[in-house]
């Protein structure tokens, strides 16, 4: 149980650090695209590690208590939540960036827009 606790602590610390960095970048960057970059990447990474800590801890209790532990449901459902988070975060970030570019949002201090007039209508 000792090694499992150490792994859980490390995962929690990594997750909290990256979540804090993502929220910090949400306030420090100048325009919408850089904020999206900082917030989405760091927050997804941090949330993955925080949920991984929950999975490791509950799976450890499950393995210790035997097959009919109440932690088995928590462990399996946490894996499902992790997969849902992985799929939805990347897709919604892409949708936000595409919608913002098509609505005419410009990056801060931008000189050249390489995608000007190259939008393919679906």
Partner 1 sequence: MMWLPAAIVMMVCIVIAVVRIFIGPGAPTRLVAFDTTNTLVVALLVALALMFEQVVFVDVAIVYAVLSFIMTLYVARFIEGKKF
Point out which residues bind partner 1 (CB under 8 A).
5, 8-9, 12, 15-16, 19-20, 22-23, 26-27, 32, 35-36, 39-40, 43-44, 46-47, 50-51, 53-54, 57-58, 70, 73-74, 77-78, 80-81, 84-85, 88-89, 91-93, 95-96, 98-100, 102-103, 105
Residue 113 structure tokens: 């827009």
Gyration radius of the chain's alpha carbons: 20
Report the nearest approach of partner 1 to the CB of residue 114 (Å). 19
Nearest C-alpha neighbor of 8 from the set 43, 48, 54: 54
Nearer to partner 1, 42 or 112 (CB): 42
Q: Distance (Å, rounded) from C-alpha 29 to C-alpha 23?
A: 11
Report the nearest approach of partner 1 to the CB of residue 103 (Å). 5
Report the nearest approach of partner 1 to the CB of residue 110 (Å). 15
CB 79 within 8 A of CB 59: no
CB 113 within 8 A of CB 101: no
């Amino acid at each position: 149980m000792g090694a499992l606790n150490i792994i859980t602590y490390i995962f929690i610390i990594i997750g909290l650090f990256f979540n804090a960095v993502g929220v910090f970048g949400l306030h420090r960057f100048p325009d919408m695209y850089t904020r999206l970059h900082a917030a989405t990447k760091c927050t997804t990474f941090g949330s993955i590690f925080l949920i991984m800590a929950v999975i490791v801890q509950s799976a450890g209790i499950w393995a210790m208590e035997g097959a009919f532990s109440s932690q088995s449901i928590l462990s399996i459902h946490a894996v499902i939540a992790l997969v849902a988070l992985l799929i939805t975060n990347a897709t919604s970030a892409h949708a936000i960036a595409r919608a913002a570019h098509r609505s005419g949002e410009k990056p801060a201090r931008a000189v050249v827009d390489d995608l000007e007039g190259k939008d393919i209508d679906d």
